[in-house]
Amino acid sequence: MMQCMALVLQPLKKMINTILHMIGEGWHLKNHTAWKRKQNLSNIPLPQSAATFYNGISPEMEIVESCESINRLNNYLRDRKDDVKAGVPGKFLHAVIGQDISDVGLVASTIMYAFYLNETYQNDQLCTVPVINMKRADLSCHAKIKWLIASCLIDQSSYFYSEQIDLSYYDLFGSLNLVLLNSHKLPTKQEALKEAVVEIFCCRKGESAYPWVETYTIGEDCSCCTLIAERFALASPEILAGQGFSRLLLAGIFIETGNLTNPHCTSKDKYMATLLINGAGRFGSNGLYQILKYKMHDVSDLKIVDILHKDFKKWRRLGKPDAAGSRLMALHVGMSSIGISIAQLLAHEDASSQGIKNFQRLEKLRLLMIVSGYYDSQKNFKREILVSAESAELMKNLIFFNSNASQLPLKVLHKPGLRDDMKVFEVDKVTSRKTIERLLEEFGVISKG
């Protein structure tokens, strides 16, 4: 038994020693980049050593180490973008794409898995590119992604956003291959491209909607960045010695596992995070997570429309026929999720109740629900809901909350000066926003009249 364990651990030890040797030799420390810091990090609860460095030695400058790994990644991104601009002559467009959501883990894994495929396949018939499934303009709403990409020194102009590349054009001529990342099905808006899916790389168990796909990777319910880091570690471990390179993967693991504290965090997540620890740099692992967490909820530079659009879903509902047999008016419902309290939202200089109503009219919503999830000063998690109806009459007749009282127990919060067509509630038990969304989707009879 001991001999078997030794045989299993030997390649892992060799891999770790290789990375540590590359770090020790300074393989990745080619130069440093410095720029004037735009944000003050003093209000982020960094660990003492990191806080001392950033607020004591150089409070106005951001210093980042450049590395050979990031140089290779940037060169790859620029070369593939040039290929696409030239029309990808004589090749298949091999696009890596995920769901149409915007989070650190998905952006990091999309870029990194495309690079991994390019490095390992080395197929002259494929032009492998990452496609971030969001609009480039929406990046302004995601401070944590912007900060991370800049911190890792990745060239932001060299990869594609969804509106910058017409995948349907390549599909029309039969030259599109899609690698579906961290999902078993394409987003609805891209479902027409499903026959182009040739690979599914997913970290969660589930059944594929596309039985013809032969290359199918299912993880052990760990972070997708963990699986990608593992592949790099086995194929070319020296590349993980680069600080910016490893930081991108490490950040994805931290966000997806709650800094390795979530119940679904696996031993593989912890192992790969340890292997990538150089990516935390002077912040330290806890410091890097605290910055990402802070950036996730930082709305200081955003307008109300951006705050509410950050995590927004919209759907159309029809009421059931009434006693006379007529059908109720169609109800366009929207739900925005935010990471600050409702009080903070209403106190925002661009977030008065009138600003919320302007957003509601812009989206043509009869009902807008703003779902807030945040930690108070005692570090207790709070869930609040602001409901904005099209009219005071609709708000008066709304029966959604009464009909779901057992699953969504609410306590009214009185806010001075709030409009008659708005109400604010505190959720009396820990309830996920997914549960609230599901209740809304299942709700048929919206109002009494």
Structure confidence at residue 58 (pLDDT): 43
Rounded to whole angstroms, the Cα distance separating 305 from 408 reads: 27
The structure tokens listed for 202 are 């997913």
What's the confidence (pLDDT) of residue 374? 83
Tell the burial category of 288 from Cβ atoms under 10 Å away from its Cβ (0-12, 13-18, 19+).
buried
Secondary structure (3-state) at 311 = coil
Tell me the CA distances in angstroms from 319 to 53, 89, 333, 402, one per residue in order: 59, 52, 12, 17
Query: Cα(335)–Cα(417) distance, rounded to whole angstroms?
Result: 23
> Given this model, what pLDDT does residue 444 score?
46
Instruction: State how far the Cα of 190 lies from the Cα of 168, in Å rounded to an integer.
Output: 9
Please report, for the chain, the start and end positions of each structural domain, with discontinuous segments joined by +: 2-296, 304-442
Which CATH fold topology does 2-296 show?
Answer: inorganic pyrophosphatase (n-terminal core) (3.90.1640)
Nearest of 280, 274, 300, 305 to residue 292 by alpha carbon: 280
Contact of 392 with 420, CB cutoff 8 Å: yes
Got the DSSP string for 74-135?
A: HHHHHHHHHHHHTT-TTSEEEEEE--S---HHHHHHHHHHHHHHHHHH--TTEEEEEEESS-
C-alpha–C-alpha distance, residues 114 and 127, integer Å: 10
Closest CA to 222 of 272, 187, 280, 184: 272
Q: What is the chain's pLDDT, residue by residue, as a tens digit (449 residues)?
A: 445 444 444 555 555 555 555 544 444 444 555 545 555 555 565 555 454 444 444 434 445 566 899 999 999 999 999 999 999 988 999 999 998 877 899 999 999 999 999 999 888 899 999 999 988 888 877 888 988 999 999 998 888 998 999 999 999 999 999 999 988 889 888 999 999 999 999 887 777 789 899 888 887 789 999 999 999 999 999 999 999 999 999 999 999 999 999 888 999 999 999 999 999 988 889 999 988 888 877 777 778 888 888 888 887 765 544 444 444 455 688 899 888 889 888 887 655 788 899 999 999 998 899 999 887 878 788 899 999 999 888 888 876 666 566 667 788 888 888 889 999 998 877 777 777 877 777 664 344 33
3-state secondary structure of 160: strand
> What's 304-442's CATH class?
alpha beta
Q: Are the beta carbons of 160 and 117 closer than 8 angstroms?
A: no
Position 106 scores a pLDDT of 93
Residue 382 to residue 375: CA distance in whole angstroms: 6
pLDDT at 448: 38
Cα separation, 145 vs 247, whole angstroms: 12
- Neighbouring C-beta atoms of residue 40, cutoff 10 Å: 11
- pLDDT of 313 reads 85
Measure the CA–CA gap between 228 and 439, rounded to whole angstroms.
35
Q: Are strands 312-317 and 215-218 parallel, antiparallel or unpaired?
A: unpaired
By the 8 A CB rule, do 313 and 334 touch? yes
